[in-house]
Protein backbone atom coordinates (compact mmCIF):
# COMPACT_ATOMS: atom_id res chain seq x y z
CA UNK A 1 0.00 0.00 0.00
CA UNK A 2 1.15 3.54 -0.77
CA UNK A 3 0.01 6.58 1.20
CA UNK A 4 0.72 10.19 0.28
CA UNK A 5 0.71 13.60 1.94
CA UNK A 6 1.42 16.77 -0.05
CA UNK A 7 1.88 20.05 1.81
CA UNK A 8 3.80 23.32 1.85
CA UNK A 9 7.21 22.98 3.49
CA UNK A 10 8.20 26.63 3.11
CA UNK A 11 7.45 29.53 0.77
CA UNK A 12 9.44 27.97 -2.06
CA UNK A 13 9.26 24.22 -1.37
CA UNK A 14 6.60 21.54 -1.68
CA UNK A 15 6.87 18.45 0.53
CA UNK A 16 5.58 15.15 -0.83
CA UNK A 17 5.58 12.40 1.79
CA UNK A 18 5.15 8.91 0.35
CA UNK A 19 4.60 5.97 2.70
CA UNK A 20 5.40 2.50 1.34
CA UNK A 21 3.85 -0.26 3.48
CA UNK A 22 5.27 -3.73 2.87
CA UNK A 23 3.02 -6.74 3.45
CA UNK A 24 4.16 -8.91 6.34
CA UNK A 25 3.59 -12.24 4.60
CA UNK A 26 5.12 -11.22 1.28
CA UNK A 27 8.93 -11.59 0.93
CA UNK A 28 9.30 -8.74 -1.58
CA UNK A 29 7.03 -5.75 -2.15
CA UNK A 30 7.25 -3.60 -5.31
CA UNK A 31 5.86 -0.08 -5.57
CA UNK A 32 5.64 2.38 -8.45
CA UNK A 33 4.84 6.10 -8.31
CA UNK A 34 4.48 8.10 -11.52
CA UNK A 35 4.10 11.88 -11.23
CA UNK A 36 3.08 14.06 -14.17
CA UNK A 37 3.91 17.74 -13.58
CA UNK A 38 1.91 20.10 -15.82
CA UNK A 39 3.71 23.46 -16.13
CA UNK A 40 2.28 26.60 -17.80
CA UNK A 41 4.05 27.47 -21.03
CA UNK A 42 4.61 31.06 -19.84
CA UNK A 43 7.11 29.89 -17.22
CA UNK A 44 9.54 28.85 -20.00
CA UNK A 45 10.38 25.50 -18.44
CA UNK A 46 11.37 23.05 -21.19
CA UNK A 47 14.12 20.66 -22.30
CA UNK A 48 16.38 23.52 -23.30
CA UNK A 49 16.04 25.67 -20.17
CA UNK A 50 15.55 22.99 -17.50
CA UNK A 51 17.87 20.00 -17.65
CA UNK A 52 17.84 16.79 -15.61
CA UNK A 53 20.62 18.24 -13.44
CA UNK A 54 18.41 21.25 -12.64
CA UNK A 55 15.49 19.01 -11.69
CA UNK A 56 17.53 16.83 -9.36
CA UNK A 57 19.16 19.92 -7.86
CA UNK A 58 15.68 21.17 -6.93
CA UNK A 59 14.74 17.75 -5.54
CA UNK A 60 15.76 16.55 -2.09
CA UNK A 61 14.77 13.10 -0.85
CA UNK A 62 15.00 11.77 2.71
CA UNK A 63 14.36 8.05 3.13
CA UNK A 64 13.47 6.78 6.60
CA UNK A 65 11.64 3.97 8.32
CA UNK A 66 7.98 4.48 9.12
CA UNK A 67 7.83 5.20 12.85
CA UNK A 68 6.53 2.13 14.74
CA UNK A 69 2.89 2.67 15.69
CA UNK A 70 1.80 2.49 19.35
CA UNK A 71 -1.25 3.82 21.13
CA UNK A 72 -0.45 6.65 23.53
CA UNK A 73 -2.00 4.70 26.42
CA UNK A 74 0.27 1.71 25.68
CA UNK A 75 3.35 3.95 25.75
CA UNK A 76 2.21 5.22 29.15
CA UNK A 77 2.14 1.63 30.50
CA UNK A 78 5.46 0.77 32.21
CA UNK A 79 4.98 -2.95 31.63
CA UNK A 80 4.63 -2.74 27.84
CA UNK A 81 6.93 -1.86 24.97
CA UNK A 82 8.32 0.56 24.06
CA UNK A 83 8.92 1.70 27.67
CA UNK A 84 9.86 -1.79 28.89
CA UNK A 85 12.51 -2.07 26.14
CA UNK A 86 13.93 1.32 27.10
CA UNK A 87 14.02 0.50 30.81
CA UNK A 88 15.76 -2.81 30.14
CA UNK A 89 18.41 -1.04 28.01
CA UNK A 90 19.16 1.38 30.87
CA UNK A 91 19.38 -1.44 33.41
CA UNK A 92 21.91 -3.29 31.25
CA UNK A 93 23.94 -0.13 30.63
CA UNK A 94 24.23 0.60 34.36
CA UNK A 95 25.56 -2.90 34.96
CA UNK A 96 27.83 -3.06 31.91
CA UNK A 97 28.60 0.30 30.14
CA UNK A 98 30.27 -1.37 27.16
CA UNK A 99 30.17 -0.07 23.59
CA UNK A 100 27.39 -2.48 22.67
CA UNK A 101 25.27 -1.53 25.70
CA UNK A 102 25.91 2.16 25.04
CA UNK A 103 24.75 1.87 21.43
CA UNK A 104 21.60 0.00 22.51
CA UNK A 105 20.89 2.57 25.23
CA UNK A 106 21.15 5.50 22.81
CA UNK A 107 19.14 3.62 20.18
CA UNK A 108 16.23 2.94 22.54
CA UNK A 109 16.14 6.55 23.79
CA UNK A 110 15.93 7.85 20.23
CA UNK A 111 13.29 5.31 19.23
CA UNK A 112 11.20 5.99 22.33
CA UNK A 113 10.98 9.75 21.82
CA UNK A 114 10.33 9.29 18.08
CA UNK A 115 7.50 6.87 18.84
CA UNK A 116 6.03 9.30 21.38
CA UNK A 117 6.12 12.09 18.80
CA UNK A 118 4.27 10.01 16.22
CA UNK A 119 1.69 8.82 18.77
CA UNK A 120 1.03 12.36 20.01
CA UNK A 121 0.35 13.49 16.44
CA UNK A 122 -2.02 10.59 15.80
CA UNK A 123 -3.81 11.09 19.14
CA UNK A 124 -4.43 14.78 18.44
CA UNK A 125 -5.65 13.99 14.94
CA UNK A 126 -8.05 11.41 16.41
CA UNK A 127 -9.40 13.90 18.97
CA UNK A 128 -9.98 16.58 16.33
CA UNK A 129 -11.61 14.22 13.83
CA UNK A 130 -13.61 11.97 16.17
CA UNK A 131 -14.00 14.04 19.31
CA UNK A 132 -17.78 14.16 19.52
CA UNK A 133 -19.24 16.43 22.16
CA UNK A 134 -20.02 13.58 24.55
CA UNK A 135 -16.53 12.02 24.10
CA UNK A 136 -14.38 15.14 23.98
CA UNK A 137 -13.86 15.53 27.73
CA UNK A 138 -12.91 11.85 28.03
CA UNK A 139 -10.45 12.02 25.13
CA UNK A 140 -8.78 15.16 26.48
CA UNK A 141 -8.57 13.65 29.98
CA UNK A 142 -6.98 10.52 28.51
CA UNK A 143 -4.52 12.67 26.52
CA UNK A 144 -3.57 14.60 29.67
CA UNK A 145 -3.20 11.47 31.83
CA UNK A 146 -1.09 9.65 29.25
CA UNK A 147 1.32 12.57 28.90
CA UNK A 148 1.69 12.87 32.67
CA UNK A 149 2.35 9.12 32.99
CA UNK A 150 4.85 9.06 30.12
CA UNK A 151 6.69 12.06 31.57
CA UNK A 152 6.78 10.55 35.07
CA UNK A 153 7.92 7.13 33.81
CA UNK A 154 10.69 8.54 31.64
CA UNK A 155 11.95 10.90 34.34
CA UNK A 156 12.05 8.07 36.86
CA UNK A 157 14.62 6.29 34.66
CA UNK A 158 17.29 8.78 35.68
CA UNK A 159 17.78 6.94 38.97
CA UNK A 160 18.71 3.76 37.10
CA UNK A 161 21.73 5.33 35.39
CA UNK A 162 22.64 7.80 38.14
CA UNK A 163 25.48 5.51 39.23
CA UNK A 164 29.31 5.80 39.26
CA UNK A 165 29.72 3.61 36.17
CA UNK A 166 27.85 6.10 33.95
CA UNK A 167 29.86 9.04 32.60
CA UNK A 168 28.53 12.55 32.07
CA UNK A 169 28.57 11.97 28.31
CA UNK A 170 26.26 8.98 28.64
CA UNK A 171 23.98 10.91 30.99
CA UNK A 172 23.70 13.63 28.34
CA UNK A 173 22.00 11.18 25.97
CA UNK A 174 19.25 10.76 28.55
CA UNK A 175 18.97 14.52 29.09
CA UNK A 176 18.66 15.09 25.33
CA UNK A 177 15.72 12.70 25.24
CA UNK A 178 14.18 14.29 28.33
CA UNK A 179 14.40 17.81 26.86
CA UNK A 180 13.02 16.65 23.52
CA UNK A 181 10.07 14.93 25.24
CA UNK A 182 9.24 18.04 27.25
CA UNK A 183 9.26 20.13 24.07
CA UNK A 184 7.00 17.57 22.39
CA UNK A 185 4.45 17.69 25.21
CA UNK A 186 4.36 21.49 25.18
CA UNK A 187 4.16 21.87 21.37
CA UNK A 188 1.47 19.23 20.88
CA UNK A 189 -0.60 20.66 23.71
CA UNK A 190 -0.57 24.01 21.91
CA UNK A 191 -1.57 22.24 18.67
CA UNK A 192 -4.50 20.58 20.42
CA UNK A 193 -5.75 23.91 21.80
CA UNK A 194 -5.43 25.53 18.38
CA UNK A 195 -7.22 22.65 16.63
CA UNK A 196 -10.11 22.60 19.12
CA UNK A 197 -10.43 26.38 18.86
CA UNK A 198 -10.72 26.23 15.06
CA UNK A 199 -13.42 23.55 15.33
CA UNK A 200 -15.32 25.51 17.97
CA UNK A 201 -14.97 22.80 20.66
CA UNK A 202 -12.60 24.59 23.05
CA UNK A 203 -14.42 24.99 26.35
CA UNK A 204 -13.10 26.79 29.41
CA UNK A 205 -12.49 23.58 31.34
CA UNK A 206 -10.58 21.97 28.46
CA UNK A 207 -8.45 25.06 27.93
CA UNK A 208 -7.63 25.20 31.65
CA UNK A 209 -6.64 21.52 31.73
CA UNK A 210 -4.36 21.73 28.69
CA UNK A 211 -2.82 25.04 29.76
CA UNK A 212 -2.00 23.49 33.16
CA UNK A 213 -0.07 20.80 31.28
CA UNK A 214 1.80 23.46 29.26
CA UNK A 215 2.74 25.52 32.33
CA UNK A 216 3.92 22.37 34.13
CA UNK A 217 6.28 21.53 31.26
CA UNK A 218 7.59 25.10 31.01
CA UNK A 219 8.31 25.14 34.75
CA UNK A 220 10.01 21.73 34.49
CA UNK A 221 12.28 22.97 31.69
CA UNK A 222 13.23 26.07 33.67
CA UNK A 223 13.99 23.89 36.69
CA UNK A 224 16.27 21.64 34.61
CA UNK A 225 17.96 24.52 32.80
CA UNK A 226 16.44 23.70 29.41
CA UNK A 227 15.75 26.59 27.06
CA UNK A 228 12.22 28.00 26.85
CA UNK A 229 10.50 30.56 24.65
CA UNK A 230 11.21 34.15 25.70
CA UNK A 231 8.65 36.76 24.65
CA UNK A 232 11.22 39.58 24.80
CA UNK A 233 14.17 37.62 23.42
CA UNK A 234 16.87 40.00 22.11
CA UNK A 235 17.80 37.60 19.30
CA UNK A 236 14.24 36.39 18.61
CA UNK A 237 14.83 33.02 20.29
CA UNK A 238 17.49 32.21 17.71
CA UNK A 239 19.39 29.86 20.02
CA UNK A 240 16.20 28.01 20.99
CA UNK A 241 15.19 27.43 17.36
CA UNK A 242 18.68 26.15 16.58
CA UNK A 243 18.63 23.79 19.56
CA UNK A 244 15.15 22.49 18.72
CA UNK A 245 16.41 21.61 15.24
CA UNK A 246 19.44 19.78 16.65
CA UNK A 247 17.32 17.83 19.14
CA UNK A 248 14.92 16.79 16.37
CA UNK A 249 17.76 15.54 14.16
CA UNK A 250 19.35 13.71 17.08
CA UNK A 251 16.11 12.03 18.14
CA UNK A 252 15.03 10.91 14.66
CA UNK A 253 18.45 9.81 13.45
CA UNK A 254 17.70 6.13 14.10
CA UNK A 255 14.84 6.19 11.62
CA UNK A 256 16.87 7.47 8.68
CA UNK A 257 18.18 4.81 6.32
CA UNK A 258 21.58 4.58 4.70
CA UNK A 259 21.54 5.24 0.97
CA UNK A 260 24.07 4.67 -1.78
CA UNK A 261 23.12 6.29 -5.09
CA UNK A 262 24.58 5.45 -8.48
CA UNK A 263 23.62 5.67 -12.14
CA UNK A 264 21.23 2.99 -13.33
CA UNK A 265 21.96 0.71 -16.31
CA UNK A 266 25.63 1.70 -16.68
CA UNK A 267 26.80 -1.66 -18.03
CA UNK A 268 24.00 -2.08 -20.57
CA UNK A 269 24.57 1.51 -21.67
CA UNK A 270 28.21 0.74 -22.43
CA UNK A 271 27.15 -2.35 -24.39
CA UNK A 272 24.79 -0.29 -26.56
CA UNK A 273 27.40 2.41 -27.10
CA UNK A 274 29.88 -0.27 -28.17
CA UNK A 275 27.32 -1.63 -30.64
CA UNK A 276 26.85 1.89 -32.04
CA UNK A 277 30.62 2.25 -32.53
CA UNK A 278 30.79 -1.20 -34.13
CA UNK A 279 27.99 -0.45 -36.61
CA UNK A 280 29.63 2.78 -37.74
CA UNK A 281 32.96 0.98 -38.12
CA UNK A 282 31.34 -1.78 -40.20
CA UNK A 283 29.95 0.86 -42.58
CA UNK A 284 33.30 2.68 -42.95
CA UNK A 285 35.25 -0.56 -43.46
CA UNK A 286 32.75 -1.92 -46.01
CA UNK A 287 32.98 1.28 -48.08
CA UNK A 288 36.79 1.27 -47.92
CA UNK A 289 37.05 -2.40 -48.95
CA UNK A 290 34.60 -2.06 -51.86
CA UNK A 291 36.35 1.02 -53.32
CA UNK A 292 39.79 -0.50 -52.76
CA UNK A 293 38.75 -3.65 -54.61
CA UNK A 294 37.30 -1.70 -57.54
CA UNK A 295 39.81 1.16 -57.93
CA UNK A 296 42.87 -0.19 -56.10
CA UNK A 297 45.17 1.52 -53.58
CA UNK A 298 46.53 5.07 -53.91
CA UNK A 299 43.80 6.25 -56.30
CA UNK A 300 41.71 9.41 -56.06
CA UNK A 301 38.31 7.57 -55.92
CA UNK A 302 39.63 5.41 -53.08
CA UNK A 303 40.92 8.50 -51.23
CA UNK A 304 37.55 10.31 -51.61
CA UNK A 305 35.67 7.19 -50.50
CA UNK A 306 37.81 6.94 -47.33
CA UNK A 307 37.16 10.59 -46.41
CA UNK A 308 33.39 10.37 -47.02
CA UNK A 309 33.05 7.04 -45.21
CA UNK A 310 34.78 8.38 -42.13
CA UNK A 311 32.60 11.51 -42.19
CA UNK A 312 29.47 9.38 -42.35
CA UNK A 313 30.88 6.94 -39.80
CA UNK A 314 30.88 9.59 -37.08
CA UNK A 315 27.31 10.66 -37.95
CA UNK A 316 26.11 7.04 -37.94
CA UNK A 317 27.78 6.52 -34.58
CA UNK A 318 26.12 9.58 -33.02
CA UNK A 319 22.69 8.79 -34.49
CA UNK A 320 22.89 5.20 -33.29
CA UNK A 321 23.97 6.34 -29.83
CA UNK A 322 21.05 8.79 -29.75
CA UNK A 323 18.63 6.04 -30.78
CA UNK A 324 19.90 3.64 -28.12
CA UNK A 325 19.91 6.42 -25.49
CA UNK A 326 16.25 7.14 -26.31
CA UNK A 327 15.40 3.45 -25.97
CA UNK A 328 17.37 3.21 -22.74
CA UNK A 329 15.52 6.17 -21.31
CA UNK A 330 12.27 4.24 -21.57
CA UNK A 331 13.57 1.06 -19.94
CA UNK A 332 16.13 2.34 -17.44
CA UNK A 333 16.15 5.00 -14.75
CA UNK A 334 18.51 7.91 -14.07
CA UNK A 335 19.55 6.76 -10.61
CA UNK A 336 19.44 3.66 -8.46
CA UNK A 337 19.66 4.04 -4.68
CA UNK A 338 20.49 1.03 -2.51
CA UNK A 339 18.79 1.27 0.91
CA UNK A 340 20.20 -0.33 4.05
CA UNK A 341 20.27 -0.07 7.85
CA UNK A 342 22.59 -1.78 10.31
CA UNK A 343 24.16 -3.85 7.52
CA UNK A 344 20.73 -5.09 6.42
CA UNK A 345 19.92 -4.54 2.73
CA UNK A 346 16.34 -3.35 2.93
CA UNK A 347 15.77 -2.72 -0.76
CA UNK A 348 16.34 -0.19 -3.50
CA UNK A 349 14.80 2.84 -5.16
CA UNK A 350 15.00 3.98 -8.79
CA UNK A 351 14.03 7.35 -10.23
CA UNK A 352 13.96 9.10 -13.58
CA UNK A 353 12.83 12.43 -15.03
CA UNK A 354 11.91 13.24 -18.62
CA UNK A 355 9.86 15.78 -20.56
CA UNK A 356 7.04 14.01 -22.40
CA UNK A 357 4.69 15.21 -25.16
CA UNK A 358 1.00 15.25 -24.36
CA UNK A 359 0.46 12.41 -26.85
CA UNK A 360 2.49 10.13 -24.55
CA UNK A 361 0.40 10.95 -21.46
CA UNK A 362 -2.27 8.30 -20.61
CA UNK A 363 -5.83 9.38 -21.25
CA UNK A 364 -6.78 8.71 -17.62
CA UNK A 365 -4.13 11.18 -16.45
CA UNK A 366 -5.35 13.89 -18.85
CA UNK A 367 -8.89 13.29 -17.65
CA UNK A 368 -7.81 13.78 -14.04
CA UNK A 369 -5.82 16.88 -15.06
CA UNK A 370 -9.26 18.24 -16.09
CA UNK A 371 -8.46 21.42 -18.01
CA UNK A 372 -11.22 24.01 -18.25
CA UNK A 373 -12.62 24.92 -21.66
CA UNK A 374 -10.60 28.16 -21.86
CA UNK A 375 -7.41 26.35 -20.81
CA UNK A 376 -8.02 23.62 -23.37
CA UNK A 377 -8.46 26.26 -26.07
CA UNK A 378 -5.32 28.13 -25.00
CA UNK A 379 -3.35 24.88 -24.82
CA UNK A 380 -3.64 24.47 -28.60
CA UNK A 381 -1.27 27.43 -29.02
CA UNK A 382 0.57 27.57 -25.68
CA UNK A 383 0.98 23.95 -24.75
CA UNK A 384 1.70 23.03 -21.17
CA UNK A 385 5.09 21.44 -20.64
CA UNK A 386 4.83 18.04 -18.97
CA UNK A 387 7.50 16.41 -16.79
CA UNK A 388 7.17 12.72 -15.95
CA UNK A 389 8.95 11.79 -12.72
CA UNK A 390 9.04 8.01 -12.19
CA UNK A 391 9.89 6.23 -8.97
CA UNK A 392 10.22 2.48 -8.42
CA UNK A 393 10.67 1.00 -4.93
CA UNK A 394 11.43 -2.56 -3.79
CA UNK A 395 11.38 -3.57 -0.10
CA UNK A 396 12.52 -6.83 1.48
CA UNK A 397 10.23 -7.91 4.30
CA UNK A 398 12.76 -10.08 6.13
CA UNK A 399 15.38 -7.31 6.19
CA UNK A 400 12.80 -4.85 7.52
CA UNK A 401 11.99 -7.22 10.38
CA UNK A 402 15.65 -7.86 11.19
CA UNK A 403 16.84 -4.25 11.18
CA UNK A 404 14.83 -3.18 14.25
CA UNK A 405 13.49 -4.58 17.51
CA UNK A 406 10.33 -2.55 16.95
CA UNK A 407 7.56 -3.50 14.49
CA UNK A 408 8.38 -1.84 11.16
CA UNK A 409 5.68 -1.53 8.52
CA UNK A 410 7.76 0.02 5.75
CA UNK A 411 9.51 3.23 4.81
CA UNK A 412 8.75 6.88 4.11
CA UNK A 413 10.24 8.79 1.20
CA UNK A 414 10.01 12.50 2.05
CA UNK A 415 10.56 14.54 -1.11
CA UNK A 416 11.07 18.29 -1.04
CA UNK A 417 10.77 20.07 -4.37
CA UNK A 418 12.03 23.65 -4.62
CA UNK A 419 10.16 25.84 -7.14
CA UNK A 420 12.63 28.76 -7.25
CA UNK A 421 13.53 27.97 -10.88
CA UNK A 422 9.85 28.21 -11.82
CA UNK A 423 9.31 31.78 -10.59
CA UNK A 424 12.14 33.53 -12.43
CA UNK A 425 10.01 34.56 -15.42
CA UNK A 426 6.77 35.26 -13.61
CA UNK A 427 5.01 38.62 -13.86
CA UNK A 428 4.50 41.00 -10.94
CA UNK A 429 2.36 39.38 -8.21
CA UNK A 430 0.02 42.41 -7.97
CA UNK A 431 -2.16 43.52 -10.89
CA UNK A 432 -4.16 46.80 -10.73
CA UNK A 433 -7.89 46.39 -11.35
CA UNK A 434 -10.46 49.14 -11.65
CA UNK A 435 -13.94 49.44 -10.21
CA UNK A 436 -16.56 52.23 -10.05
CA UNK A 437 -16.70 53.77 -6.61
CA UNK A 438 -18.87 56.36 -4.90
CA UNK A 439 -20.08 59.17 -7.16
CA UNK A 440 -18.70 57.20 -10.12
CA UNK A 441 -15.15 57.78 -8.97
CA UNK A 442 -12.68 55.23 -10.27
CA UNK A 443 -11.23 53.00 -7.55
CA UNK A 444 -8.10 50.91 -7.99
CA UNK A 445 -8.29 47.41 -6.57
CA UNK A 446 -5.27 45.17 -6.12
CA UNK A 447 -5.58 41.76 -7.78
CA UNK A 448 -3.25 38.79 -7.29
CA UNK A 449 -1.46 37.26 -10.26
CA UNK A 450 -1.24 33.52 -9.64
CA UNK A 451 0.21 30.60 -11.58
CA UNK A 452 -0.92 26.98 -11.29
CA UNK A 453 1.27 23.88 -11.48
CA UNK A 454 -0.74 20.66 -11.55
CA UNK A 455 0.52 17.35 -10.19
CA UNK A 456 -1.13 14.04 -11.07
CA UNK A 457 0.25 11.11 -9.07
CA UNK A 458 -0.30 7.47 -9.99
CA UNK A 459 0.29 4.80 -7.32
CA UNK A 460 0.82 1.13 -8.21
CA UNK A 461 1.21 -1.73 -5.74
CA UNK A 462 -0.17 -5.23 -6.32
CA UNK A 463 -3.90 -4.57 -6.92
CA UNK A 464 -3.66 -0.90 -5.97
CA UNK A 465 -4.00 1.63 -8.80
CA UNK A 466 -4.86 5.07 -7.46
CA UNK A 467 -4.66 8.57 -8.88
CA UNK A 468 -4.37 11.84 -6.95
CA UNK A 469 -4.34 15.40 -8.26
CA UNK A 470 -2.84 18.42 -6.51
CA UNK A 471 -2.52 22.00 -7.69
CA UNK A 472 0.28 24.28 -6.51
CA UNK A 473 -0.85 27.92 -6.41
CA UNK A 474 2.14 30.28 -6.53
CA UNK A 475 3.52 33.60 -7.73
CA UNK A 476 6.80 35.49 -7.47
CA UNK A 477 6.39 35.74 -3.69
CA UNK A 478 6.34 31.95 -3.37
CA UNK A 479 3.76 29.22 -2.80
CA UNK A 480 0.37 30.46 -1.70
CA UNK A 481 -1.46 27.16 -1.18
CA UNK A 482 -1.78 23.56 -2.35
CA UNK A 483 -5.21 22.43 -3.47
CA UNK A 484 -6.31 18.79 -3.48
CA UNK A 485 -8.93 17.52 -5.91
For the chain, give every domain's residue range.
Answer: 2-65+337-484, 72-256, 265-331
Q: Does the pLDDT at position 289 exceed 90? A: no
pLDDT tens column, 382-397: 789 999 999 999 999 9
State the Cα–Cα distance between residues 364 and 358, nearest whole angstrom: 12
pLDDT tens column, 403-438: 888 888 999 999 999 999 999 999 999 989 988 888
Q: Does the pLDDT at position 322 exceed 60? A: no
pLDDT tens column, 227-264: 999 988 888 899 999 999 999 999 988 888 888 877 65
* pTM, to two decimals: 0.81
Q: Does the pLDDT at position 152 exceed 60? A: yes
Is pLDDT larger for residue 98 or for residue 288? 98
pLDDT tens column, 1-18: 899 999 999 999 999 999
Percent of the chain with pLDDT over 70: 89
State the Cα–Cα distance between residues 258 and 264, nearest whole angstrom: 18
Q: Does the pLDDT at position 265 exceed 60? A: no
Name the average pLDDT for the chain.
88
pLDDT of residue 311: 66
Q: Does the pLDDT at position 89 exceed 60? A: yes
Average pLDDT over residues 284-298: 72
Average pLDDT over residues 157-182: 94
pLDDT of residue 66: 92
Average pLDDT over residues 184-198: 94
Amino acid sequence: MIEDLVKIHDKFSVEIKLGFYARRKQPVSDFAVNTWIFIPNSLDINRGTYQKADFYRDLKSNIRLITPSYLLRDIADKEKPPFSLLENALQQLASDPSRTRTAEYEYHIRMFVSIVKSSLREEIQHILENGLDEDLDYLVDNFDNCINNIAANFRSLKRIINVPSISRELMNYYFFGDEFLSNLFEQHAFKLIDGLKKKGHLTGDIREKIMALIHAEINYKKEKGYQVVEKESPNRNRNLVFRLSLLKKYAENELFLNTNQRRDGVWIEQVYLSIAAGLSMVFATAVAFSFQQKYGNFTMPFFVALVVSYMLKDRIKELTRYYFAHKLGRRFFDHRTDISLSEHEIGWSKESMVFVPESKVPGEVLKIRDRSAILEADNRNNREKIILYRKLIRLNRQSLDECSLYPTSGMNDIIRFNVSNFIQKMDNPIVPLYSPGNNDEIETVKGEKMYYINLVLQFKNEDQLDYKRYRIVLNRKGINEIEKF
